[in-house]
Amino acid sequence: MKRLFIPLIVVVITTFFSCNDRMENDGKTTVVHDSLVNVLPTWQALKVKVSDDKTDMLIVVGDATLYKASDEVKKQKAEEVAKMVLRIYGPNNYLEKGNLIITANIRNEDEAPADGIKIPMDFAGMKKAGGK
């Protein structure tokens, strides 16, 4: 009985952690996190979150340099981030919309920082336009 109990426990624990969706969308949020430096090289705080139904993404960036940039630069960076996300998630993803929130707080851990500047990302529209 003890011989079967320990392997059974290992299988149950392994199954629990492999089925758990903590690494949302098979770890693609981690890839987004790691790749963001290519678009936003000066970020110092970052939070990437995908909704439970995988249609909405929130990216909160603590970046004092980008925070001070012009609105046009911020919109351009949000578009570049959205294109990068769509490349990472591939053509058959559920993403429809998202928000890039920029804060000057380089230690930010909040999803809605008080000084946050919200820039929408229209994934559905970009997919219809071919991601261009």
pLDDT digits (tens, 9 = 90+) for 22-56: 444 568 999 999 999 999 999 999 999 999 999 99
| b/e map 64-94, b = 16+ CB within 10 Å | eebbeeeeeebeebbbebbbbbbebbeeebe
Task: Look at the chain and report how many structural domains it folds into.
Answer: 1
Single-letter code of the amino acid located at 37 = V
- Asked if the structure places residue 102 within a domain, the reply is yes
pTM exceeding the 0.75 threshold for the entire prediction: yes
- Asked if the structure places residue 46 within a domain, the reply is yes
| Cα–Cα distance measured from residue 85 to residue 78, given in angstroms and rounded to the nearest whole number | 10
For 14-28, the pLDDT digits (tens) are: 444 444 434 445 689
Expressed as residue numbers, the domain containing 36 is 25-128
Domain containing residue 104: CATH number: 3.30.300
How high is the mean pLDDT of the chain? 85
